[in-house]
Structure 1
Amino acid sequence: MTAHGFGPIFAGSRVMVILRDLPSQETVRLANRAWDLGIDVVEVPVRTPEAMPALRAAVAAGRDRDRLVGAGTVFSPERVRQAADAGAAFTVAPGLDLAVADAALRHGIPHLPGVATPTEAQRARDHGLTWLKAFPAVSLGPQWFKAVAGPLPELRFVATGGIDAGNAAGFLVAGVRVVAVGSALSDPAQIDRLAELARDDRDTAARPD
């Protein structure tokens, strides 16, 4: 496992839930709902300091259920420190900033940077980052992942941005390891379908990084 390996975090997981800009109580409620459905990994974006209480509340709830909670929209070393202090199991960023990745490493947690081009993906790989967030995934499309897998087969992608129950399966078939879903969790029409994705082929998702 590399220092930034997400294999143990995403082992058996095909869906990650993003709970953005919600009060602490609602964040915990939806996190518990996700865990009840078998969606094990939750991300709470902390774009502003006001989001830190929701992250801390979700981390505490996850600790009670042996579930992992990461911090998203982490784009500075200082925000990495705050996320680590709050107990985040990992950090996620919309773009590639190697200083942020290095800060996460110093705090002992893996970092998932965002990429949208093969050049960014190669730069991340050369820095020891083999798990990457592809953003915005809906603009890249499933074929992008198949194309990038040719020259960069060692990379593992989490597809984020515009993902819902209607298009998630297409990204998984294209080789994406995990799909990250935001507002779709609050849509009752999609919840059961997302839960099915979370359960399907869990053994195939449990691969080393």
Structure 2
Amino acid sequence: MTATDTSSAEEFWEDRYNSSDRLFSGNPNSALIRETSAVTPGRALDLGCGEGADAVWLARQGWHVTAVDISPTALSRGAEHATAAGVADRIDWQQHDLAHSFPEGAFDLVSAHYLHSPREMPREEILRRAAEAVAPGGLLLIVGHAGWPSWSHDHDTEIHFPTPDEVLAALDLPEGRWEVLVKETYDTPMTDPDGRPATRPDNTLKLRRR
């Protein structure tokens, strides 16, 4: 992808997903499991759901999930995963370009994992809209990359990965109406392209709407 590309965001992500039979592992994100396992299930919104691993895991825990992605291919794979897991009736798959449209309703959990894109995307605006979608007493969970993988040495040094404090400030939340439950940066274990152990710095921001 170069600066001269004129394809839409949907076309870009469709190309990414169609480049492989499966783009991701099919396993739920560890931060989601860590931060929501003890939470009473209700209505959840999964933003940028990809091939649906998080949505399926939430549905298995008893959540009713609205799973959103820009890519029809990703959503189709997610729906197949949900059917195979026996939770198809608990997940509503919706296509949205979050820069232009957003699912309706209020949710007990709004989850945004790795909502990054090499294409221009109004991430801060999307996350502010995500906060607005949290029902009173509900949770907002934002997980993002905090830096490059440990094996990466030839990358764009101008790309900035926001800290949890920067994400919180950009949300511009009303004073006194939210409680910060988790705000941390940590190393996530992974493997490099050659299959060797590696890490990538990530961060988590977990908030409760009062």
Task: Name the TM-score class by shorter chain.
Answer: 0.3 to 0.5
Point out the structure with the larger helix share.
1
Q: Normalized against structure 1, the TM-score is what? A: 0.33
Q: Which has the higher contact order (CA 8 A, sep 6+)?
A: 1
